[in-house]
Structure 1
Amino acid sequence: MGLFGLLFGWPLAPVRGVIRLGELIQEQVEREMSDPAAVRRELEELDRVLAAGLISEEEHAERMQEVLQRMIGAPVQAGAAAPEAENGER
């Protein structure tokens, strides 16, 4: 099967390369988004923008929450219960 795999597999090599490149980019983005230094810089920028009066307190709080959730992973929201539990069905 080695020869057949080589003959029929080589046309798919560019596709496999693009898929692998996408996976590497995704891994790098995930690494950077959870990097404590990057998160700190983003939080400091939010504080600077708030101090300059470019955003409101509410928007500042929302954006801070988004940044922190992105760092630690989005928790399950309290209102996101299963549909059966909301209707009282089991």
Structure 2
Amino acid sequence: MGLIKAILTAPTAPIRFVDWTARQVLDAAEREYYDPAAIRQRLADLSAQLDNGEITEEEFDRMEDELLDRLEEAEEYLNERQ
């Protein structure tokens, strides 16, 4: 029965592959987006940019708020997955 099923479902193989690939990309993007270590590193980089005069205080405040919100969201996301 396995051979018959394989033959009958062969036309859908490209669709299944695209679906699997999309899920893998989404999973990798979520892991990167919700990685607290990466967010903290971005906060440290942002602070260094401010110290070096590469960004203004207003830009720093805006981006810091966004990153802190993202860090909070990441911690909630990780707690939900456990």
Fold match by TM threshold 0.5? yes
Normalised to the residue count of structure 1, the TM-score between the two structures is: 0.67
Unaligned runs of 5+ in 1: 74-90
> Which one-letter code corresponds to 2:37 in the other structure?
A
Aligned to 2:43: 43
Greater helix proportion? 2
For residue 60 of structure 1, report the CA deviation from its aligned partner: 0.6
The 4+ residue runs of structure 1 with deviation greater than 4 A are: none
For residue 63 of structure 1, report the CA deviation from its aligned partner: 0.7
Normalised to the residue count of structure 2, the TM-score between the two structures is: 0.72
Unaligned runs of 5+ in 2: 74-82
> Which is greater in Rg?
1
Structural mapping, 1:1-90, within 5 Å: 3=4, 6-73=6-73
% same residue: 35
- Partner Cα distance (1:66, 1:35) in 2: 15
- Number of equivalent positions: 73
For residue 44 of structure 1, report the CA deviation from its aligned partner: 0.6
> Which one-letter code corresponds to 1:18 in the other structure?
V
Q: Which structure has more RCO (C-alpha within 8 Å, separation ≥ 6)?
A: 2
For residue 16 of structure 1, report the CA deviation from its aligned partner: 1.3
Aligned to 2:76: none
Contact 1:34/1:72, CA 8 A, preserved across alignment: no
Q: Provide the alpha-carbon RMSD of the alignment.
A: 2.1
